[in-house]
């Protein structure tokens, strides 16, 4: 075996190999530490640049501390802000198009008028944030928290809000067309006059939500829970509400024309003057529901439970009743 002499000590090839490995290890460690320090300094420079000029498109700002920062109208297009601390930051009118804000903390941040089109905000904290008039078209907000957030007049069309927490959020007059809100928490949310046309709300929680005059044509609401919600004058035309729970909901003067309400629970619901023409109400539970003045022309009530229901003034024409019989009592007063 080859031997090397070092100041009177003999080293064999295994010792040399061990020293070589240690030398390479510590060398790589030094390079890595240098890179980390360099990256940290560079990121600090970018943060300073952003705060001074409010422009940093495409910047790496992951895990940066920007609490209460004034970033009004900042240019942050294509920037990454993963796990960044933006609590109470002012981002009004900022451009965050395609920005990545995964797990970012935006609690109570001001984002009114901001552009977040196609931004990624999965698991982000936007609780109590202000997003009035903001644009989030095509954005991804899966598992994000928007609890008590204010999004009046915001554009969320085509966005993904699966499992998002919108408890007590204000979305009045917002555009939610074609959004994915499946399994979302919209309990007690203000959804007055929102556009939810074509949206996916399967298994969503909407207990106590206010959907007065909301537009929901072709919306998927299968197994959704809308107990005690306000649905007055809302448009549910052609909507899918199979197995949904609308018990004690107020759907007075709402439109459910051609909607699928199979096995829906409408126990003690207010359906005064509601249009249910051509609706599928097979096996629906309408126990103690108030259907006075409702339009049930051509509706299918096969197998439904009308125990204690108030049907005074309701209109029937070619209506299939629970026992399978056809009720034409009002055909002479309308064009069937």
Look at residue 333 and tell me whether its pLDDT is greater than 80: no
DSSP 12: E
d(CA 183, CA 137): 20
Look at residue 35 and tell me whether its pLDDT is greater than 50: no
Give residue 11's pLDDT.
56
Which of 273, 193, 203, 266 is closest to 234 using CA atoms? 193
| Residue 32: inside a domain | yes
- Read off the pLDDT band of 142 (50, 70, 90): very high
Give residue 8's pLDDT.
54
pLDDT tens digit sequence for 228-237: 999 999 999 9
| Residue 98: inside a domain | no
| Residue 31: inside a domain | yes
d(CA 130, CA 109): 6
Average pLDDT of every residue of the chain: 92
d(CA 124, CA 41): 26
Tokens encoding 67: 């609490």
| Residue 48: inside a domain | yes
Bridge partners (DSSP) of residue 88 are none
| Residue 202: inside a domain | no
For the segment 233-260, the average pLDDT, to the nearest whole number, is: 98
For the segment 49-77, the average pLDDT, to the nearest whole number, is: 95
Tokens encoding 208: 């106590």
- Read off the pLDDT band of 49 (50, 70, 90): confident
Which of 328, 236, 322 is closest to 284 using CA atoms? 322
Judging by beta carbons within 10 Å of its beta carbon (0-12, 13-18, 19+), is residue 134 exposed, middle or buried? buried
Look at residue 218 and tell me whether its pLDDT is greater than 50: yes
Give residue 289's pLDDT.
98
Provide φ and ψ at 85, rounded to 5°. Answer: -95, 105
Whether the Cβ atoms of residue 88 and residue 105 lie closer than 8 Å to each other = no
d(CA 147, CA 335): 48
Judging by beta carbons within 10 Å of its beta carbon (0-12, 13-18, 19+), is residue 9 exposed, middle or buried? exposed
Specify the long-range contacts of residues 156-159, CB closer than 8 Å, at least 24 apart: none
Whether the Cβ atoms of residue 292 and residue 310 lie closer than 8 Å to each other = yes
Which of 234, 259, 262, 237 is closest to 249 using CA atoms? 234
Look at residue 298 and tell me whether its pLDDT is greater than 70: yes
| Residue 273: inside a domain | no
Q: How far apart are the first and last CA of the chain?
A: 105
Tokens encoding 317: 């024409």
- Predicted structure pTM score: 0.86
| Residue 106: inside a domain | no
d(CA 204, CA 293): 30
Look at residue 334 and tell me whether its pLDDT is greater than 50: no
- Quote the longest CA-to-CA distance of the chain: 119
| Residue 17: inside a domain | yes
Split into its structural domains, the chain has a count of: 1
Residue-range definition of the domain harbouring residue 42: 13-53
Helix (H, G, I), strand (E, B) or coil at 286: coil
Helix (H, G, I), strand (E, B) or coil at 110: strand
Give residue 9's pLDDT.
56
pLDDT tens digit sequence for 67-80: 999 999 999 999 99
SS3 labels along 25-76: HHHHHHHHHHHHHHHHHHHHHHHHHHHHHCECCCCECCCCECCCCECCCCEC
């Amino acid at each position: 075996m080859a031997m090397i002499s070092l100041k009177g000590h003999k080293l064999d090839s295994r010792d040399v190999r061990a020293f070589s490995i240690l030398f390479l290890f510590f060398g790589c460690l030094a390079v890595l530490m240098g890179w980390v320090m360099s990256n940290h300094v560079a990121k600090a420079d970018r943060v300073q640049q952003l705060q001074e000029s409010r422009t940093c498109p495409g910047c790496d700002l992951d895990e940066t501390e920007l609490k209460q920062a004034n970033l009004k109208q900042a240019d942050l297009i294509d920037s990454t802000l993963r796990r960044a601390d933006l609590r109470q930051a002012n981002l009004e009118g900022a451009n965050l198009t395609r920005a990545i804000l995964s797990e970012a903390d935006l609690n109570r941040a001001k984002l009114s008028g901001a552009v977040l089109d196609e931004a990624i905000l999965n698991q982000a904290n936007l609780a109590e944030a202000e997003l009035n008039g903001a644009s989030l078209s095509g954005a991804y907000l899966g598992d994000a928290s928007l609890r008590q957030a204010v999004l009046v007049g915001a554009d969320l069309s085509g966005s993904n809000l699966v499992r998002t927490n919108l408890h007590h959020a204000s979305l009045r007059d917002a555009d939610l067309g074609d959004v994915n809100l499946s399994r979302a928490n919209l309990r007690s949310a203000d959804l007055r006059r929102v556009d939810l046309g074509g949206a996916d709300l399967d298994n969503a929680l909407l207990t106590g939500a206010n959907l007065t005059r909301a537009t929901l044509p072709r919306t998927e609401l299968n197994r959704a829970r809308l107990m005690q919600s306000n649905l007055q004058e809302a448009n549910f035309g052609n909507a899918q509400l199979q197995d949904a729970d609308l018990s004690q909901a107020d759907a007075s003067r709402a439109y459910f024309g051609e909607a699928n309400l199979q096995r829906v629970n409408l126990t003690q619901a207010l359906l005064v003057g509601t249009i249910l023409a051509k609706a599928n109400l097979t096996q629906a539970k309408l126990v103690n529901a108030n259907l006075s003045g409702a339009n049930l022309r051509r509706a299918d009530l096969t197998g439904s439970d009308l125990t204690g229901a108030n049907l005074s003034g309701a209109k029937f024409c070619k209506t299939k009743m629970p026992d399978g019989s056809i009720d034409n009592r009002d055909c002479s007063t309308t064009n069937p």
